[in-house]
Each structure stands twice: as structure tokens, then as C-alpha cells.
Amino acid sequence: MKVRRDDWGIPHLWADDADQLAFLQGRVTATDRAWQIEVERLRSEGRLAAVLGPAELPWDRFARRVRLDDTARRCFARLAPATRRWVAAYVDGVNAALRSVDAPEFAATGHRPDRWRPWTPLGVFLVQHALFGTFPHKLWRADLAAALGDTELFATAGSGSNAWAVAGPPAVLAGDPHRLLELPGVYQQVGLACPEFDVIGLAFPGVPGVPHFGHAGGVAWGITNAMADYQDLYREDLRRDGGTVSARGPAGWEPVAVHVEHIAVRDGATEPVEVVETARGPVVDVDRRTGEALSLRTPSRVEAALGFDALLPLLRARSTGDVVDALRCWVEPVNSVLVADTTGDVCELVAGLVPVRDERCRREPVPAWESRYAWQGYARMPSEPVAGVAVHANDRRPAVAPLGVDFAPPHRARRIRELVSTGTPAGSIHTDTQVPVSRDLLAAAEVTGPAADLRDRLLSWDGRMAASSVAAGSYARWRSALVRRLHDHPALAALRGPSAYDELFAPWTDPLGRIGIALESVVAGLGPAVCGPLAAAALEDTAAEPARAWGATHVLAPIQAVPDGAPTVGLDGDTDCVLATSSVPGVSDACWRGPVARWVWDLGDRSASRWIVPFGASGRPGDPHYADQLPLWAAGELVPVAG
């Protein structure tokens, strides 16, 4: 077994077979990212509060209730024998390194890493995606319906991932997944080679292989969130009789599995958590308005599968058809996939399981006792050849529209197509900062004096959200002022009551944040009679403040389990740009969600492929490769794959 590190500290691994390579990948991952993967393991088991204290209780309660660790164990047990052996080899490598690794966070917390169990990688993968789907949006819509009734005011969802394919020849794939900007980063650049295959790609620390983004020489692939709706919430009527619990189902009262777990809390009392699972799924919350329990039904729990049996075939793929075949067993999350090979075969597909059921299930929690809300199998996933250009940007494309409800606005997809059509290089597409400006609303604002001057400057501005741009900073402040005034307006006053759901879901149920994310939709729904005066008042608010460049407040704000002087920098881009360095208008200009990697896969010459991550290959503060890619990432540059 051999490890070669390039100039950026990125590991390129060689072993004599796939299982030895998995062991080596696990060992190197634990060496480079020991604290990070220990945190993810603790999250998967709902035990992080024991190390970091009461602030982690909301997550730990959720992890126990939703049965993350048990789902991982069940999914591992159902893997094909070869996959199970391969995953276990990765775990053996992790455990071999954990015996001697060190990191300053271990000293700071007084914690030492525990041994991984064979199914821990599946639990780590579940941690990354448990809240990645649609069910938190259904909690928001339930709050919204309780406050405003049936409304389409909030018709768009926020997301920012991009991927595109140009058929060539030779074909080029490129993209930039957007997630929470965590430090260390959520993706790990790696090269994996053995006599069977030679792949470069982006791995999840703690998970073997390269599930989402890879280049195997003859074929390459990349994904975005398909925005499909594959998680359902059911309102459960529970009946307690002594020590037994029953739930009202379509055929009457049904037995319910119940037990109590205890969460240890650093510097706090142990907290008991009742874990309840009905025939629909685990109970994850209670509606404080109705008293009903809410159970969560997901394909991974129902089928005891995540799709890990696809991971080895992906590494062994030689053609577009091989990748398509490998992903037939993918379960969740549901992804839009672009694939291309060196023969010129380019394909776009959707991978995963989306249940067929009543349309109401897509929008809100539904009564568990009504049979019409039961699942009726799974939808057929589309797969089509690409002759020219394909663009995926979390938008409502014909292929995915029947599969979901909450999609991103079409701006990014349109802009990428425009840039591709003009021959713009992939790296420049990644960093495009053009934002759709609310010119009609600005132009109609009846203001005088400094506010009128500001309006005129914004109307003549080029719409580029550059960190150095004072106009971009003024536009962002006007937009935030408008969001806050909308939040305070009587038309939306009913939203300001408390949410009926757990604090863990506040990022989805906070009305101020939701107005900021769906501002375009809210303005269109309320109309000019309401929004015109508010836009004018927001101009007055903004004109009264000192002008500042966008980068003065739009700064990188990565998430750390143990905050430790994270590097920061003013950023180009904005939520609706292709360079979707997201913030939440009205809440904060800080960027905590954005491109967690950028990649360009060249099918004519793999060595010409390029990539970048926000920080670096190492997860250890003080290491030369802890954040050495940050200046290039912030500047929109890429580095060679050196594979």
C-alpha cells in the first residue's frame, strides 16, 4: 500500500486490491480528519452532547428519535457480502489510525475517539443527509397554513448547487455542490487506485469511495440535489394504556415499539428520550398545536438501504452505461446525475427512490389513519441522453418536476446556459456573480432626496455581487430592509407566532428567514400595493446608513464543532448567483452555506481536470494544508487534480 501526497497535501492512494484500498482510505481519512469524523460518529449515535454539552441536545434527541444508528446498522446488514466486506475494511483502517491520532480538539474537550463499528460509515452518511430532504419544509408549510391558510406566497426554496455537461467531443462535466460550509470541509479530495480501477474524486470523510463526484479515466460523474420529495410526515394518534402504546392506523389500533434512551450531557443532567416507532416510521416531533405525534417515513428506513451497493461498481465503471447501472440501486438522497465517457456518451438521470402516494403528502403532515396516504411503490426515475448541453441547478426541470414541490428559482440554470452558449470557460461560470435585480420594484418606488439617489444608482448598477462593490452592498442592505419590513407588515403578522415544532427545525420555520429565502415569490404574491411602499421605505432605511462594499459584511462564516478562530474573508457572490455564496437576507449577510467544492472533469484528458475545496486536505488546525486552498477558492481559482 502506498500514499502519495501532491503539493496540496491531497492523498493519492494505491493498494493491491479494492479491500486493501478501502483500509488505506479509512486509515488516511482518520489520520487527516480524526476530530471531524469522531464528531460525525457521535452525531450518528446521538452522543455529541456528552462531549460538547447541552447545546448539542436538540440534535442528539433527533438522532435518537429518528433512529439514525439503528437505520445504519440495518442498512449495513442488508448490503451485498462484497460491499459489506469493503465497508468493514474501511472501518478497520479508521480504527487502526484512531489508536494513535491526535488533534487539538481532543485535548480541548478531554475526549478520546472510540472504535468505529462496521456500520458507522452508513451512520456518518445519514448524518449528512437526515435533514437534507424535504420533511422540514412540510413543518414550515404546516406553520404557514395555520397562520395564513392556503397560500402560494412561499413558492420557492433556497439551494445553490450547479452542474452542467457539454457533450463535446471531448465531453466536459463541471459543477459545485452547495452545502453548509463546515471546517474541516464536508468533502475530501482523494485519488483511489488499485489494479481494478484508478479514480479521483470527492469523498465524504468517514465514507468509503467517492459517492457523488468522480473521474475514473474512461467515465466521470457528478450530482446535484434533485429536490425530489421522498420523506413523508404522518400525524399519529397515540393511545397509552399502562406501559403499552398504540397508534391509530388505517385498519384500527396498532402496536407501537417504545423504549427510553438516556443522553449523557457534559456539565448537565442526563436526559431521558422516549423513542417511539409506528408502522409509518419513527416519531421525530410533536405538533404543539394539536398534540399529535409526527412520524417520519423514509425509503432508507423502509427498505433498510441507502444505496451503498452502488459505491464499488461506481469505482469500477468504465462507461456511462456502467455508472447508470451502478446507480439503479441508489436509494437516498435523490440526486440528479450527469455522466459522460470518453466515447462521447453523455447522460442525465435521477437516482434514488421517490414514493408514489397522494399529492397532499408532498405538502404537509397527513393523517396516519387514512389509507389514501399510504405509499404505493416508487416512481420510475428518468434517464435521457444528452446531445448538446445539460444544466442542473436545483431548478424545476421537466425530468424532476413530477418528483418534488420545492425547487430553486430558475435564475442560475438560465445564466449557466447563457454562459455555456457563449463559450465561457467552466471556471468562470463557477464564479459568475450576476444577480437578478428587482428593477421593477425599485423603479416604482416613490422617494426623494438621498433615497432617490440610491434608487437611481441601483437601477444603473450592473447587478454583479462583487465583494468590492459598494452598489452590491447597498442593494443587499435594501433587500434586507425590505425583508424586515415585510416581516413586520400586518399582511404577514400571523407568521410571527411561535412555531409548533422543535427548535432543531428553526432554520426552516423561522418566518424572517423564510421571507428572505423566498423574497421574489413573496413580493409577487403580495403585489405592488403592499410591496411598493415597503420598497420605498427600505430605500429610506438604506440611504440613512453609511455605504459599504458587499464584502465588508458578506464574509465567510464556517461552522465548527469547537469554534477555534476560523479563517474568514469577504466573498463575491450571492444566493441567486451561479456563485451562490448564500446568506439569508434580513437575517445576516454572513455566508455559512456555499460551494463546498468546485470541479471540472475533462473527458479528453483527465490530467487537465481541476478542482478546489474551501479549506484544505487536513482537518488539523496549524497543519500547512488546513486552509491552504482558501485563497484560491475565494478567488474562484482551481488546482490540477495531479492524479
Q: Which residues carry a binding-site annotation for Ca(2+)? A: 229, 232
Burial class (CB in 10 A: 0-12, 13-18, 19+), 75: buried
> What does each C-alpha distance from 608 to 238, 521, 599, 605 come to in angstroms?
59, 41, 11, 5
> What does each C-alpha distance from 587 to 456, 583, 590 come to in angstroms?
26, 8, 9
Please give the Cα distance from 21 to 282 (Å, whole number): 36
Residue 200 contacts residue 643 (beta carbons within 8 Å): yes
Region label for 504, one of left (φ > 0), alpha (ψ between -120 and 50) or beta (otherwise): alpha
Please give the Cα distance from 631 to 633 (Å, whole number): 6
The CA-to-CA distance between both ends of the chain, in Å, stands at: 17
∠ CA 38-333-88, rounded to 5°: 45
Cα-Cα-Cα-Cα dihedral sign, residues 118, 124, 130, 133: negative
**Residue 161 annotated as catalytic:** yes
- Of 129, 501, 66, which is closest to residue 335 (Cα–Cα)? 129
Please report the pLDDT score of residue 643 as a whole number: 47
| pTM across the whole model | 0.95
Residue 385 contacts residue 407 (beta carbons within 8 Å): no
Q: Which residues carry a binding-site annotation? A: 229, 232
Catalytic residue among 44, 100, 159, 161: 161
Domains and CATH numbers, the chain: 2-129 (1.10.439.10), 162-227+306-366+375-408+595-640 (3.60.20.10), 232-302 (2.30.120.10), 432-593 (1.10.1400)
Residue 352 contacts residue 133 (beta carbons within 8 Å): no
Maximal CA-CA distance, the chain: 74
Please report the pLDDT score of residue 158 as a whole number: 67
Mean pLDDT, 10 residues at a time, the chain of 643 residues? 96 98 98 97 98 97 98 98 98 96 92 96 96 92 94 78 92 95 96 98 98 97 97 97 93 96 96 97 97 98 98 98 98 97 96 97 97 97 95 95 93 95 93 94 95 97 97 98 97 94 95 94 94 97 96 96 86 95 95 96 96 97 95 96 74
Burial class (CB in 10 A: 0-12, 13-18, 19+), 3: middle
| Sheet containing strand 389-392, strands side by side | 389-392, 162-166, 172-176, 598-602, 610-612, 639-640
Buried b (16+ CB within 10 A) or exposed e, 249-260: beeeebebebee
Contacts of 434 (CB under 8 A, 6+ apart): 415, 463, 464, 465, 577, 578
Burial class (CB in 10 A: 0-12, 13-18, 19+), 32: buried
- Of 178, 289, 284, which is closest to residue 227 (Cα–Cα)? 178
Count of helix runs (H) and strand runs (E) in the chain: 22, 27
